[in-house]
Structure 1
Amino acid sequence: MNQTNRTNLMNRMRKHHLFWPLAVLGALLLFNLIYSPDFFSVKMRGGHLYGNVIDILNFGAPLILVAIGMTLVIATKGIDLSVGSIVAIAGAMACLTISKGGDQNSLGLVLIAVGLALALSVVLGLWNGLLVSGAGIQPIIATLILMVAGRGIAQLITDGQIITLSSPKYEFIGAGSLATLPFSIFVVVAVFAIAALVTRKTALGMFIESVGCNPEASRLAGIRSKYIVIAVYMFCGLCAGIAGLLLSSNISSADGNNAGLWYELDAILAVVIGGTSLNGGRFYLTGTLVGALIIQTLSTTIYTVGIPPEVTLVVKAFVVLAVCLIQSEAFRKALAYRWKTRRYPGEKEVARHV
C-alpha cells in the first residue's frame, strides 16, 4: 500500500463516527493500564469472573440500557429527561410488590413484580409520548414534568423510606451470574440486539430517522410520525424500567430519592459522544454503546486514581467536554489551521482553505 492509499485510508477512518469514541476509550484504558498494570487482570472466584473490565460492563449496564432508549428518542429530535425518575419508579414498584407479597423468594412473586414494574415503565413512556406527539408539548418540557413528578411518585411508592429485600431470586437480576459472567451483561446484549435488529433490519429505523429529519415531510410521505414518536418514548421508558430493576436488585433495595439520579444527563452524553446528533435524524446504537462505556470507564478511572469525591463531577465534566471537542470537525479544523499558520506564517491563505 503506497503513501497515498494509506493517507486516504486514514482520512476515511477519521471520518467514521466510531473512530474518535473508540480512540478516547482506548486512551482511557491505556492510561489505566499504565497507572495500574493489573487493571486488565480477571480472576475466577467461586465460579464467577471478577476484575475491573467485568465491573465496567456490569456497573455500566443500567446506563447502557437507558442510553439505548435515549438514542431512539433523540433520533426523532426529542429528549427524555424523565428516565432517571422512571428508573427510580420501576425499582420502587418491584421492591414494594415483593416486600408486600409474602414469600420474597417466590419465583412467581418476583415475576409479577418485574412485570408490574416494566408495565408501569411503558405506561410512563406512553405518557411522555402522548404529551410530545399528541398534545404538541416540546419534548424537554413534556419530559421535565415527569422528571420532577416521577421522584415524588417513587417517594410515594416507598413511603419516603428505603425498601430492603431478602430475595435471592430478585437479586439474581442485577447481582447474579450466568456462564461465569454477570447476568446484567446478558440483559444488555439482549436489549441491544433486539433494538439493532428492529431498527436496522426493518423499515422502522428509516422511519425514525425520517421523523427526526422532517416530521411534516414524513407525514406527507405516509409515515404515521405520531405513532413513531409514541413508540420510541415507550421503548425508552421500557429500557429505563429494566435499568431500574438492575439497580434495585443489585443492592436488594429501592431508594426513590437517589436511584437513577442524573442518569438522564449521562445517557444524553453517551448518545452525543457516540455520534448521534441532538438535531435528530441518523442515529448510531453502536456509538451509544461506546459512549456509555467511555462514561463508565471514566468513572472507574476516577475512583482508581483516587480523586476526591467532591471534585469527581468536575473532572468528569472536563473530560466529557474534551471528548466532545475532539469529535467536533469544526474544532479540529480550527486547531489544524492555527497549527499550520504558526508553523508556516507565510502560508495563511493556503491553510485557510485546507
Structure 2
Amino acid sequence: MSRETDAVRDERVVADGESDLVAPRGAGRMRGLARHRLLWPVLVLVLLLLSNLIFTPGFFEIEVRQGHLYGSVVDIVRFGAPLILVALGMTLVIATGGIDLSVGSIVAICGAMACLRISDLGDQNEVTGVLAAIGLALALSLVLGLWNGALIAGVGVQPIIATLILMVAGRGLAQLITGGQIITINSSPYKLIGAGYWLTLPFSILVALAVTALAVLLTRRTALGLLIEAVGGNAEASRLAGIRSRRIMLMAYVFCGFCAGVAGLMISSNVSSADGNNAGLWIELDAILAVVIGGTPLAGGRFSIGGTVIGALIIQALSTTIYTIGVPPETTLLFKAVVVTVVCLVQSPAFRARVFRRRAPRPLPVAEKPKAEVAR
C-alpha cells in the first residue's frame, strides 16, 4: 500500500449532514480552538477588562510602592481570591452531581471563630496564638464539610436540602459565636492573610494560587479527577464498577468546606473584623455562577478548574466595571444579572448554532419533485 498523501490525511468535516468538506490541517486546528470550552470565557474577561479603558485610561498600569505591586488588575485578582477559593470547592462538588449552598455560612463561621480566638489573646500580634486560631477555624471548616458529606453520601439526603440546613443554621451559629456583634481585632500576623504582601504580591493571591495548584495536582495528575467525573456521570454505575462513590463525594464536600474556611479567613483578615450576619453573604451564588461560566455543567460528570478560575475573575472584573462606569447602586444587581445571562448564552454551543449558523435547506416535498424522479 502506498503512503497516505497530505491531501488524504487532511481532516474531513461533515457539515450538518451535507457533503463532506475537505479542510486543511490549519483550518481544523482553528476550528478546534474556536470550539474550546475556555475560549468564550477568556474573550469575555478580556472585553470586560478592555472596557474599563474607556472610563479609566490608566486601568492596566501597575506600579511598585514600597516593594508592593499596586494596580487595578492586581486589585481584581486580590479581591477575587476568596471567590476563586469558594468556586474551586464548588467545582468538585458540582462535578459529583451535587451542590453546596452552605459555603457562605462556613465563610462567616470560620472568620468569626478565628477573630474570636484572636480577640481573647493578651497579645494579638503573638504568632503562636494567631496560628492556633487559624488552625482551629480551618479544623472547624473541615468538620462542617464532613457534616455535609455525611448527610449526603452517608444518609442519602438530597444535596440541596442538606446544605440548605447548614446554610440557615450556620449563619445563626456565626452570630452565636460573635454574640450578634462585630468582633474587631488588631493583629498584624492575621492581617497578612487578606491584606498583606509577600514577595511583592498580595498574600491572598499566593494562597489562591497554592490551593488552585493543589486542586490541579490532585485531580489532573492522579486518578481522582477521573473518579470524580465517573461519580458525577453515574454514581450507581461507578459503584458497581468498584469505585467507592460515597467516599469520593465525602472528600469533595470536605474540600469545599476547607476552601470556604480559607476564604473566610481572607475576608475577615482584610477588614480586621468578623461579621456573622454579612460575611460571605450570597457568595455561594457567585461561586455557582463562576463554575457555570467556566464550563462545568450543573448536571456533573466533568469539570474545568481553569474555567472556574476564569469565571471567578469575570465576576470580580464585572463588579469592578460596574463601579468604574458609574452604574447606579439600585440597578447594580440587575445589570450584573443581564451581563451574566449574555455571557452564558454566548458560550452556549446550542445558542450559537441556532443564532449564527444557517439552517440546512429543507428537502422538497414529493409532490414538487420532477415527474421522472417520482416515476422511479
Aligned pairs for 1:211-222 within 5 A: 211-222=231-242
Q: What residue number does 1:314 align with?
A: 334
3-state DSSP of counterpart to 1:125: helix
Q: 1:38-88, CA deviations, whole angstroms, 9 ceiling, x for partnerless residues?
A: 100112222211110010010000000000000000000000000000000
Q: What corresponds to 1:47 in structure 2?
A: 67
Alignment partners' CA distance in 2, 1:308 and 1:66 = 28
Name the aligned partner's letter for residue 280 of structure 1: G
2:210 pairs, out of 180, 190, 215, with 190
Matches within 5 A, 1:69-88: 69-88=89-108
Could you tell me which residue of structure 1 aligns to residue 175 of structure 2?
155
Report the residue type matching 2:52 in the other structure. Answer: N
Cα distance between partner residues in 2 of 1:88 and 1:102? 24
Alignment of 1:253-292 (within 5 A): 253-292=273-312
- 1:349: which partner in 2? 362
Q: CA deviation at 1:224?
A: 0.8
Whole-angstrom CA distance in 2 between matches of 1:257 and 1:9: 51
Residue identity in the other structure for 1:349: R
Name the SS of the counterpart of 1:17 in structure 2. coil
Deviations 1:104-163 (A, max 9, x none): 111011001000100000100000001111111110111000011111000000000000
CA distance in 2 between partners of 1:43 and 1:239 (Å): 30
Q: Which runs of 5+ in 1 are unaligned?
A: 342-346
1:97 is aligned to 117
How far residue 33 of structure 1 moved from its aligned partner, in angstroms, is: 2.3
3-state SS in 1 of match to 2:296: coil
Secondary structure at 1:349 match in 2? coil
2:158 equivalent to 1:138: yes
Q: Deviations over 1:283-319 (max 9, x none)?
A: 1000000000000000011111111112111111100
- Distance in 2 of aligned mates of 1:4 and 1:51: 44
Aligned mates of 1:134, 1:265 — CA distance in 2 = 26
Question: Could you tell me how far apart the structure 1 residues matched to 2:334 and 2:130 are?
Answer: 40
After superposition, the CA RMSD in angstroms is 1.5
State the distance in 2 between where 1:210 and 1:3 align.
35
Please give the secondary structure, in 2, of the residue aligned with 1:239.
helix
List aligned pairs for 1:161-240, cutoff 5 A.
Answer: 161-240=181-260
Letter in 1 for 2:273: S
Structure 2 stretches lacking a partner, 5+ long: 1-21, 364-376
Which residue of 2 is the match for residue 23 of structure 1? 43
Please state how far the C-alpha of 1:348 moved relative to its aligned partner. 4.5
| Matched AA of 1:118 | L
| 1:304 alignment counterpart | 324
Match of 1:36 among 56, 80, 90: 56
Q: Distance in 2 between matches of 1:349 and 1:323?
A: 32
What is the distance in 1 between the residues matched to 2:173 and 2:233? 34
- In structure 1, distance between residues paired with 2:277 and 2:112: 10
Amino acid at match of 2:331: V
2: distance between equivalents of 1:40 and 1:188?
Answer: 22
Give the partner amino acid of 1:262.
W
SS of the equivalent of 1:307 reads coil
Q: TM-score, normalised by structure 1?
A: 0.94
Match of 2:288, as an amino acid? Answer: I
| Residue equivalent to 1:8 | 28
Distance 1:129 1:34 in 2: 47
- Distance in 2, matches of 1:183 and 1:286, equals 20
Structure 1 partner of 2:348 = 328
SS of the residue 1:116 aligns to: helix
Distance in 2 separating the partners of 1:192 and 1:260: 20
CA distance in 2, matches of 1:254, 1:304: 28
1:3, distance to aligned residue in structure 2 (A): 8.0
The alpha carbon displacement at 1:35 in A equals 3.1
Mark the CA change 1:37 to 1:348 in structure 2 (over 3 Å): closer, same or farther: farther
Higher helix share: 1
Query: Do residues 244 (structure 1) and 257 (structure 2) align?
Result: no
* Letter of the structure 2 residue corresponding to residue 174 of structure 1: G
CA distance in 1, matches of 2:199, 2:53: 27
Q: Give the letter aligned to residue 31 of structure 2.
A: N
TM-score calculated relative to the size of structure 2: 0.89
